[in-house]
A and B are shown apart, each in its own frame.
Chain A
Amino acid sequence: QVQLVESGGGVVQPGRSLRLSCAVSGFTFSSFPMHWVRQAPGRGLEWVASISYDGSDKYYGEWLKGRFTISRDNSKNTLFLQMSSLTIEDTAVYYCARVGYGDPNWFDPWGQGTLVAVSS
Chain B
Amino acid sequence: QSVLTQPPSLSGAPGQTLTISCTGSSSNIGAHDDVHWYQQLPGTAPKLLIHETNNRPSGVPDRFSGSKSGTSASLAITGLQAEDEADYYCQSYDSSQSAYVFGTGTKVTV
Contact = CB atoms under 8 A, between A and B. Distances in A.
Q: Is the interface of A mostly helix, strand, loop or mixed?
A: strand
Most buried by B among A37, A95, A107: A107
B98 A46 contact: no
Interface in A46-105: 46-47, 50, 59, 61-62, 95, 100, 102-105
A35 B105 contact: no
A108 B48 contact: yes
Interface string B88-107: 01011100011111111100
Contacts of A111: 45
Task: Give the bracket for the number of chain B residues in contact with chain A.
Answer: 20 to 34
A103 B53 CA distance: 10
Most buried by B among A100, A106, A108, A111: A106
Given A44-B89, A110-B46, A100 B100 contact: no
Task: Give the bracket for the number of chain A residues in contact with chain B.
Answer: 20 to 34
Interface in B62-104: 89, 91-93, 97-104
Contact of A45 (B44, B46, B51): B46
A112 interface: yes
Interface in B27-83: 32-34, 36, 38, 44-48, 51-52, 57
Contacts of A109: 47-48
Nearest to B37: A106
B99 A104 contact: no
Contacts of A108: 48, 51, 57
Given A104-B93, A105-B93, A113 B98 contact: no
Given A102-B36, A104-B93, A107-B38, A50 B100 contact: yes
B9 interface: no
Contacts of A62: 97-99
A94 to B, nearest CB: 11
Nearest to A60: B99
8 contacts: A45-B89, A100-B51, A104-B36, A105-B100, A106-B48, A107-B38, A108-B51, A110-B45
Kindly list the 3 A-B residue pairs having the minimum CB-CB distance in the complex, ordered from nearest. Answer: A104-B93, A108-B48, A47-B100
